[in-house]
Amino acid sequence: MRVEKGLLYTEDHDWVKVEGNIATVGLSDYAQDHLGDIVYVELPEVDDEVEAGDSLASVESVKAASDINAPVSGKIVEVNELLDDEPGEINKDCYAAWVCKIEMSNPAELEKLTNDADYEASL
């Protein structure tokens, strides 16, 4: 499993890249590998407000369906529309095929996430 350095990770195997007050969210290599070939991604809507732990997006594969939960609270400011037509991009490069970007309303929630070294050790 590839663990991208410099990112934070959730218990659900999602990754979070923090740039200023923006948290970019995607599926980790572990998650995409266990899901198998991803055939559909239901993206959130721009301007939606989310709370940490809420369902953010859904991913369907040939094996299973899974929710991506919001790692932090805030407002959706951008979604990766490429995934509407090419959901399999997550399987090709899960760290480039991000799902959405959240303008954080409570950056302190990041403290509940795991750093790359601890995440890698947990796999």
**Listed residue (118, 104, 121) closest to 49, CA to CA:** 104
Q: Is residue 25 part of a domain?
A: yes
- Report the number of distinct structural domains present in the chain: 1
Q: Is residue 119 part of a domain?
A: no
Task: State the Cα–Cα distance between residues 82 and 100, nearest whole angstrom.
Answer: 11
Q: What is the pLDDT of residue 4?
A: 97
- CATH number of the domain that residue 69 is part of: 2.40.50.100
Q: Is residue 65 part of a domain?
A: yes
Task: State the Cα–Cα distance between residues 14 and 70, nearest whole angstrom.
Answer: 9
Q: What are phi and psi of 72, to 5 degrees?
A: -140, 160
Task: State the Cα–Cα distance between residues 113 and 73, nearest whole angstrom.
Answer: 13
The list of the chain residues with pLDDT below 50 reads: none
Domain of residue 89: give its range: 8-106
Q: Is residue 114 part of a domain?
A: no
Tens digits of residue pLDDT in 25-49: 999 999 999 999 999 999 999 999 9
Which pTM was predicted? 0.96
Task: State the Cα–Cα distance between residues 92 and 73, nearest whole angstrom.
Answer: 28
